[in-house]
Amino acid sequence: MSLRERKAAKKKKEIIQSAVSIIGERGFHATTMEEIASKLLMTKGSVYYYFKDKQDLLYQSQKMLLEQSIHNIETIIEEKSELQEKLHKVLTLHVEYLLKERTGFEIGAKPEQLFSGDPLKEILSLRDQYSRYIDQLILKGIEAGVFQNVNVKIVRNLILGALNSVIEWYSFEGQKSKTEIADLISDYLLRILKKGSSQP
């Protein structure tokens, strides 16, 4: 990748971050290209040099976030550790990533509202991929007798729903650090799956 290309890639990333952050705050429709640009001391026109249109900007943001998430989960799954620990790590990292990016997943909470056609398919497919990794972990746990027998899809959705809600209620002013919160949340949610006594 040439210097030029790297510069362009960097700029794209900057724009995406600006967009993700404002859209996360105000919502997609309430966010103007003007705002996204001016936050980076750019003009609207410049943003259009890097992205075809507003949809495209949103699409690429979502794609990047989802791909990073999938990368995260894959790294953990490849590790050599117990199933429970793995799932715990996955959930923890999910929360941490969410709180670090400060937004992102929620933007696409309802991809059908924001995308259509191929981009929608792509986004849904990435989400699906992510979900399937979690399903696998749960499934293996059940087969290994570590987890209770549950409806995998429902439980996975509940867990993801709970996780993603964090961004709505986690407040920086809280006493707990992001890591602590993430750990605690993962503990709580794993109880849905764990077998046997759930006492400390």
Partner DNA sequence: GATGAATGAGGGTTCATTCAT
Partner DNA sequence: AATGAATGAACCCTCATTCAT
Q: How many residues bind DNA (CB under 7 A)?
A: 21
Q: What 3-state class would DSSP assign to 167? A: helix
Q: What 3-state class would DSSP assign to 171? A: coil
CB-based contacts of 196: which residues, under 8 Å, 6+ apart?
A: none
Out of its own copies, DNA, none, what residue 132 binds, judged by CB under 5 to 8 A for its kind, is none
Q: 14 vs 39, which CB is nearer to its own copies?
A: 39
Closest CA to 69 of 135, 17, 131: 131
Q: 49 vs 188, which CB is nearer to DNA?
A: 49
CB-based contacts of 47: which residues, under 8 Å, 6+ apart?
A: 15, 33, 36, 37, 57
Out of DNA, its own copies, none, what residue 164 binds, judged by CB under 5 to 8 A for its kind, is its own copies
Residues 26-55 binding DNA (CB under 7 A) are: 30-34, 42-46, 48-50, 52-55
C-alpha of 67 from chain center: 9
Out of DNA, its own copies, none, what residue 44 binds, judged by CB under 5 to 8 A for its kind, is DNA
62 binds DNA, rule: CB under 7 A: no
Structure tokens that stand for 104 in this block: 């992102």
146 binds DNA, rule: CB under 7 A: no
Residues that bind DNA (CB under 7 A): 4, 7-8, 11, 30-34, 42-46, 48-50, 52-55
